[in-house]
């Protein structure tokens, strides 16, 4: 397993050129990675969705924080469904921007991270969204705009992994996209596709519960052919498969309890419940065992003694990459964004591919969860299901 990377307090991070820019962008975007720029990149860019945030408040606060930090006036980049903003972020990097603030939810964060991957420029997250999943997993403040800005213009940064997904449509067309939290196929993707946007704006992440209730009766088992890294391929009938860069969800639900943002690995959950009781077992695992029992050595011992019967419902896998293929096109999602139907997906971790701002008081606590131990092996492969 790759060596762990530590928290670090640094100044500006120098850029690095890369040949791994996303292969397909929006119609308004241009391909190609940012060119090398000078180390002293003091410029600031702000990516935001004007329909999701209080624009006057955000602009006034960010301008004041930038001035106090000795930064130039920020460059403002609007994001919408039609214009994601990746082209303008890349142009901003070439003009001397070294810090990009993503003001919004998971979609805005993913867009910014996609553009920044491998450049050495820094991402700062100002949570304004529904799930704010990467912010949660980085222990960033979710309810204090001012505290988030303090971190954004502070000096503590962390290099984390970023996921890269290569999608293949039924036509054979391929596209490459980055993700920072999770990718999903099956029920997970169906929930994203069926989520009511208006309801999501009103009640937040609870809108996914509504979508789940409506999607569950319609989702059939999917035969998935998968391979972890260079291992031999396997097949399984699944309800959903989730590939994660980190594992904490709203409500402190630990879907992937051993997932780390800087281990160079992807964590995978394969769910195969046969009845409603199977779903209840899975809920017991993620809502009780992962969140409560894993915190103590006695609890972890209990899990090891009792999890044998649940391996048929929920299986955890782990690897640097995973390839998925399905017999019929299936919905696919990345960080809560619907990417339509695919017939194959290749996912891999890009170790340390993204630099993010973090709270100074979190420095030195990176290994805390490793020290607590793990109730499962580094990687487990599920036997082929007939």
For residue 11, the model assigns a pLDDT of 33
Q: What is the CATH number of the domain that holds 279?
A: 2.60.200.40
* Distance separating alpha carbons of residues 359 and 337, to the nearest angstrom: 27
Domain span at 58: 8-160
> What is the value of pTM for the model shown?
0.78
Judge whether 73 lies within some domain: yes
Statement to judge: residues 145 and 246 lie in one domain: no
Judge whether 358 lies within some domain: no
For residue 304, the model assigns a pLDDT of 65
171: left (phi over 0), alpha (psi -120 to 50) or beta: alpha
Judge whether 142 lies within some domain: yes
10-residue stretch averages of pLDDT, the chain, 386 residues long: 40 32 32 38 91 90 95 92 84 95 93 95 91 91 93 95 97 96 87 69 64 70 93 91 89 84 95 81 72 61 59 86 95 92 97 95 50 42 39
Strands (E), the chain: 8-9, 43-48, 75-78, 97-104, 122-127, 156-168, 174-179, 182-186, 222-228, 234-238, 240-244, 248-249, 253-254, 266-271, 314-319, 321-334, 337-357
Candidates 195, 238, 198, 240; CA nearest to 213 is 195
Statement to judge: residues 129 and 260 lie in one domain: no
Q: How many domains does one find in the chain? A: 2
For residue 1, the model assigns a pLDDT of 44
CA angle at 91 for the pair 90 and 97, rounded to the nearest 5°: 85
């Amino acid at each position: 397993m790759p060596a762990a990377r530590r928290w670090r307090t640094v100044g500006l991070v120098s850029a690095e050129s890369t040949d791994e820019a996303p292969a397909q962008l929006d119609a308004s975007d241009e391909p190609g990675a940012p060119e090398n720029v000078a180390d002293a990149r003091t410029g600031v860019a702000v990516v935001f969705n004007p329909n999701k945030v209080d624009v006057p408040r955000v602009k006034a606060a960010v301008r004041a924080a930038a001035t106090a930090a000795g930064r130039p006036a920020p460059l403002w980049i609007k994001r919408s469904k039609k214009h994601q903003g990746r082209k303008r972020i890349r142009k901003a990097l070439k003009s001397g921007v070294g810090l990009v603030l993503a003001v919004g939810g998971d979609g805005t964060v993913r867009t910014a991270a996609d553009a920044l991957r491998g450049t050495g420029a820094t991402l700062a997250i100002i949570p304004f969204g529904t799930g704010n999943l990467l912010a949660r997993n980085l222990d960033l403040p979710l309810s204090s705009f001012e505290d988030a800005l303090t971190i954004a213009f502070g000096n503590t940064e962390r290099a984390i992994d970023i996921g890269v997904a290569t999608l293949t449509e039924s036509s054979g067309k391929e596209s490459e996209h980055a993700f920072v939290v999770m990718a999903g196929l099956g029920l997970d993707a169906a929930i994203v596709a069926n989520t009511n946007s208006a309801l999501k704006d009103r009640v937040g992440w609870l809108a996914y519960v509504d979508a789940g209730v409506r999607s569950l009766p319609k989702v059939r088992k999917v035969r998935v052919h998968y391979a972890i890294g260079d291992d031999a391929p396997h097949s399984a009938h699944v309800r959903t498969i989730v590939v994660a860069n980190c594992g904490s969800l709203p409500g402190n639900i630990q879907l992937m309890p051993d997932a780390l943002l800087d281990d160079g690995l992807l964590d995978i959950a394969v769910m195969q419940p046969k009845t409603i009781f199977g779903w209840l077992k899975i809920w017991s695992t993620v809502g009780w065992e992962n969140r409560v029992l894993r915190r103590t050595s006695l609890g972890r011992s209990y899990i090891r003694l009792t999890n044998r019967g649940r391996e048929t419902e929920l299986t955890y896998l782990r690897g640097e990459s995973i390839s998925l293929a399905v017999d019929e096109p299936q919905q696919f999602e990345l960080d809560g964004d619907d990417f339509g139907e695919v017939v194959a997906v290749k996912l891999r971790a890009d170790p340390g591919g993204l630099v993010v701002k973090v709270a100074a008081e979190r420095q030195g606590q990176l290994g805390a969860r490793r020290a607590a131990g793990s109730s499962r092996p580094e990687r487990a492969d599920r036997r082929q299901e007939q």
